Amino acid sequence: MRGVTLPAELHPAELYPAIEPYATHAVDVGDGHTLYVEEVGNPAGIPVLFLHGGPGGGLMPFMRRFFDPARYRVVLFDQRGAGRSTPLGSLHHNTTWHLVADIERIRRRLGVPAWLVFGGSWGSTLALAYAQTHPAAVTGLILRGIYLVRAAERDWGYRRGLDRLQPEEWQRFIAPIPAGERDDILGAYHRRLLGPDPDVAREYAVPWMRWEAVISTLAPDPALINTLTADETVLPAAQILAHYVMNGGFFTSETQLLDGVDRMRHLPGVIIQGRYDQCCPPITAYDLATRWPEADFQMVPAAGHSSLEPAITDHLIRATDRFADLLG
């Protein structure tokens, strides 16, 4: 096709170049927790907050690269017990509502009047909880792979649903659990991961996090599996995740985040969902979009859960570029 210029939409957008923080902070949020916070991009740019997944996942360098560094002031932080925040793996005073309060403390500490909020998977859950609690502090939302921690979503991943799509991996996941306890896989893992024996907890953390890695991509990614089961992070990440999932995200009702949409419907928003997302089934994003019809709902064909799948990355980058035009 020499001499022919393809339309822009046929050129998938790619991550911005690797970048290092221009500032880092240790923010004492009380309850014995100190959070690692970093800023990248343009200190005078459009403020945007990146919320990582998990819960308990922590930051990775690629997460800085969804934003034009010339136009955005990007704030990223490791949530309680995750990554470089301390104490690592702590479940003490570690709930969704503690994290919502932490975000506000960070915003005030950095002198940000209001910011765009970007979150995927568990990050989408936390973004919704924050925006509904502090709508005046939010200029817009970019959400990917929607997760509302409803019973149906938990059952899909830990009881009946994904066992039909991933039968071999499901058998590998449930193999460590005695047959008599397999009617409640989530509870069985939770008891062991948060039990008194650290050796038992570590033993069960590996298959737990392997399952999370397998269902997070359209095709299993050996590099992601190795990352999520690495010795130094596998136990705290597994414990925090089990803690939040077992407690239903610490919401007061199954529909709390859907019922709260009216508090933030005036905000511009983009909902990006992979059609074949195994981790966060598309019905959840559809339910959110139904309650929030003003949002730009984008169902991405031939894509799963991960933000690094090319089609998902493309939609995310295009969204941040559009918001830069809107908010700049």
Residue range 206-232, pLDDT digits in tens: 999 999 999 999 988 999 999 999 888
305 in catalytic set: yes
Helices 185-193 and 198-214, packing angle to 10 deg:
140
What phi, psi does 72 have (nearest 5°)?
-120, 145
Least Cα distance to 244 among 158, 325, 175, 119 occurs for 158
**Does residue 222 have a cis peptide bond before it, meaning omega lies within 30 degrees of 0?**
no
**Tens-place pLDDT, residues 1-45:** 334 343 445 567 899 999 999 999 999 999 999 999 999 999 999
- Of the candidates 305, 306, 307, 315, the residue annotated as catalytic is 305
Give pLDDT tens digits along the chain (328 positions): 334 343 445 567 899 999 999 999 999 999 999 999 999 999 999 999 999 999 999 999 999 999 999 999 999 999 999 999 999 999 999 999 999 999 999 999 999 999 999 999 999 999 999 999 999 999 999 999 999 999 999 999 999 899 999 999 999 999 999 999 999 999 999 999 999 999 999 999 999 999 999 999 998 899 999 999 988 889 999 999 999 999 999 999 999 999 999 999 999 999 999 999 999 999 999 999 999 999 999 999 999 999 999 999 999 999 999 999 999 9
Q: Cite the residue boundaries of each domain of the chain with CATH code 3.40.50.1820.
A: 8-149+251-327
> Which residue type, as a one-letter code, is found at position 203?
E
Q: Which segments of the chain does DSSP mark as H helices, in order?
A: 96-110, 122-133, 151-158, 162-165, 167-174, 185-193, 198-214, 222-228, 231-246, 256-259, 282-291, 310-327
- The confidence score (pLDDT) of residue 7 equals 44
Active-site residue 277, yes or no? yes
216, 271, 308 from 10: Cα distances, Å: 26, 21, 18
Q: Does domain 8-149+251-327 have CATH number 3.90.79.10?
A: no
Q: Cα(295)–Cα(110) distance, rounded to whole angstroms?
A: 28
Closest to 241 in 3D by CA, of 97, 86, 83, 54:
54
* Cα 88 from Cα 314, distance rounded (Å): 33
Q: Is 155 designated active site? A: no
Active-site residue identified among 90, 121, 124, 216:
121
Catalytic residue among 85, 102, 134, 277: 277
What integer pLDDT is reported at residue 8 of this predicted model? 47
Supply the pLDDT for residue 275.
97
